[in-house]
Structure 1
């Protein structure tokens, strides 16, 4: 819904989980790109995210929000952390201008 800025990761995450036939409980780590703090908090509240497994090394405010490379930064961050912890599945999600959102589920082998 483009009238609600920053909430795009909610429907995109739900859709990714549905397509993968998974629940949020089956995800080991989550990376949410936060454009700014209130935007992340709205996504956290709507999805019921666990702070113990979300943005575990800090988010975009701490690590960076590189123009045209945010998806790469998020994906590599979660893949390295999954490998470091010996975990399997991660959800990466980001808001995009105009009320859009993107999400991907990654699995280590």
Structure 2
């Protein structure tokens, strides 16, 4: 696997989320924010047994990101990594990382009163 600019910051990102449960990540396009960071966080101790949501505003980008990450794990979409958007989803009982669109995220927040 080739290195990406975000790789040198993965430890810091994991520590920030472990300590504060939220962080804002800003980096240039192609740095690995969408694909490298979520897969790394799945392995984090603090994320054990938890489901992670990744916001990807565009439907096509959400499907592509989920597909790419699932391929990196040697799996099909809907196993560890899946996606959910209005009218289309590919998730399973073992899905721990869901790539979601804005509408789905908003609906989730309304249900849990974010």
Structure of higher CA gyration radius: 2
Where on the TM-score scale, by shorter chain, does this alignment land: which range?
0.3 to 0.5
More strand by share: 1
Relative to the length of structure 2, the TM-score reads: 0.36
Relative to the length of structure 1, the TM-score reads: 0.37
